[in-house]
Amino acid sequence: MRALQRYALCASWLWRLFAIVVMAACWSALIGGSTTASAYSSGALGSDPTTVAPLTTVATTPEPKRPSINGTLVAGDRPVVGVKVTVMQGGVLIGAAMSDSAGKFAIVVPKPGAFVVAIDVATIPQGFALADPTRSSLPDYRVFGSFAQVVSFPFAGESSSAPNLEQQGDAIRFLQLVVGGIRFGLIVGVCAVGLSLIFGTTGLVNFAHGELVTFGALVAFFFNTNRGGPRVSLVFAGIFAVVVGGAFGGALQRGLWQPIEKRTSNAARMLVSIGLALFLRYLFQVVFTGNSRTYRQYSAQGPFKIGPIELPVRDYIVMVLCTVALLSVAFVLQRTRLGTAIRAVADEKELAAASGINVQRIVTYVWVAGAALSALGGVVLGVTESVQWNMGFRLLLTLFAAVVLGGLGSAYGAMAGGIAVGLATEVSTFWLPADYKIAVGLGVLVAVLLARPQGLLGIRERVG
């Protein structure tokens, strides 16, 4: 018996050592890649070793490729010709162009940054009108990298049938927002499932869960885009990010949460999670800097039309991928022994332990799965939007709203709550400014909880 106890103690310490090594390797890879790339870019280490030096002293290096803002102005299948488009930055005109016979325009900008892209409504030809007259200017259009990026100004069509076309444009725009809300809701659902499972099995309200989302996006960025990384395809970078994100979650469980679980209360662990979130968030800022960036692939795509819906191909793929991930979680929870054990631990931890379930092992599995799902959510969120050091923190309030709306500790509730919050926030921009969409999502949460305090799929409990 003593030999078994010694063996178990050694195995426990070996697992913790492995967790520490995994965490150290991840951070050293991220920091090393970012530091090397910044050193080469600043000239501190000379030129990039991957660049071949010229054979002569004559300056034959071609001018570096500059980014551009492109677009196509069409109303249905008819091009809108002769419309003036301007690009400004800081009140200074950067460039201007007129839409050609195909409705296309292109304006080269000197470097990435935030620009004001606007249409001169006085140059819109008779018979055409913007689908949204208030959207003649994009005041904060972000340009990333050194490639062509697409901007869209939807047109309604001929003015002779303007009322009908305007109604048709509103209907299509509303449908676009519904599909966009489903896409965003699926991403929220993927991230929120892990948060809900961790709460259900451990009772921990993890405020550092948003940083797990950011971690996945940054790992994928390093392996896909960073000059210090291997620059593999985003598909492989995303797979590796999910694996590393899961390992990072397991390392946190074994190295941090398990040792303090029996020594502190849930409130104290919640405070520890807040401190961990702050530490990781600003570590990400130091390593990644505060700039928004995009992956090498799929960042600039033209719309692909399916019926009245026009979205980039990546958005369709993201929705399919998130749906498959959520269905896989549901299958594991309902049809496998592991899922049965997870549900048993979430329902009654002591009774599950008494029935022979290794509770600590199940909790570790939940942490690995939850962190892996969060990393996947971070990767797809970075594909549809951009990669930022605080992207998980900006999503955290929405994640909590989805978990509470669906029912605390319910994985299926987190899925339903994520889709509900995503739809509410995106569709609300049809009537309200986009700045209010998070407030609308929280308003939906309050309204549902007033009618059903346990959440959409939560179980009613008696308090007191």
Instruction: Quickly tell me which residue has 């000239």 as its tokens.
Output: 43
- pLDDT of the residue at 458: 65
Q: Which of 81, 87, 101 is nearest to 151 (CA)?
A: 87
β-pair type (137-143, 113-119): antiparallel
Alpha-carbon distance of 242 to 205, in angstroms, equals 22
Which residues lie across from 105 on neighbouring strands? 71
What is the DSSP secondary structure assignment for residue 86, as one 8-state letter? E
- pLDDT of the residue at 53: 41
Q: Is the dihedral of CA 324, 329, 335, 338 positive or negative?
A: positive
Residue 182 · residue 420 · CB < 8 Å = no
pTM of the model: 0.66
CA atoms within 13 A on the CB side of 418: 28
SS3 135: coil
Q: Tokens in use for 265?
A: 């209360």
Alpha-carbon distance of 145 to 67, in angstroms, equals 7
- pLDDT of the residue at 323: 95
> Along the 464 residues of the chain, how does pLDDT read in single tens digits?
454 454 445 545 545 554 554 455 454 444 444 443 444 334 433 434 334 344 334 444 445 567 888 888 888 767 888 889 999 887 788 888 888 877 888 898 888 888 889 888 888 887 788 877 777 888 778 777 666 778 888 887 543 334 444 444 678 888 888 998 999 999 999 999 999 999 989 888 999 999 999 999 999 999 988 666 678 889 999 999 999 999 999 999 999 999 998 888 888 999 999 999 999 999 999 988 888 888 887 766 667 778 778 788 888 999 999 999 999 999 999 999 999 999 999 888 889 889 889 999 999 999 999 999 999 999 999 998 888 899 999 999 899 999 988 887 788 888 998 999 989 888 888 888 877 888 888 888 888 888 887 777 766 554 43
Alpha-carbon distance of 369 to 336, in angstroms, equals 15
SS3 161: helix
Q: Tokens in use for 300?
A: 């600039």
- Kindly report the backbone phi and psi dihedral angles of residue 108, in degrees, each rounded to the nearest multiple of 5, phi listed first: -85, 135
Provide the H-helix boundaries in 58-161.
none
Torsion angle of C-alpha atoms 196, 201, 205, 210, degrees rounded to 10: -50
Residue 311 · residue 175 · CB < 8 Å = no
Q: Tokens in use for 339?
A: 């899922």
Residue 420 · residue 370 · CB < 8 Å = no
In sequence order, the 6+-apart residues with CB closer than 8 A to the CB of 206 are 195, 198, 199, 273
- Kindly report the backbone phi and psi dihedral angles of residue 366, in degrees, each rounded to the nearest multiple of 5, phi listed first: -65, -40
β-pair type (78-79, 74-75): antiparallel
- pLDDT of the residue at 429: 84
DSSP structure string for 366-389: HHHHHHHHHHHHHHHHHHHS-B-T
Domains of the chain, start order? 68-157 (2.60.40.10), 175-451 (1.10.3470)
Q: Tokens in use for 367?
A: 């942490």
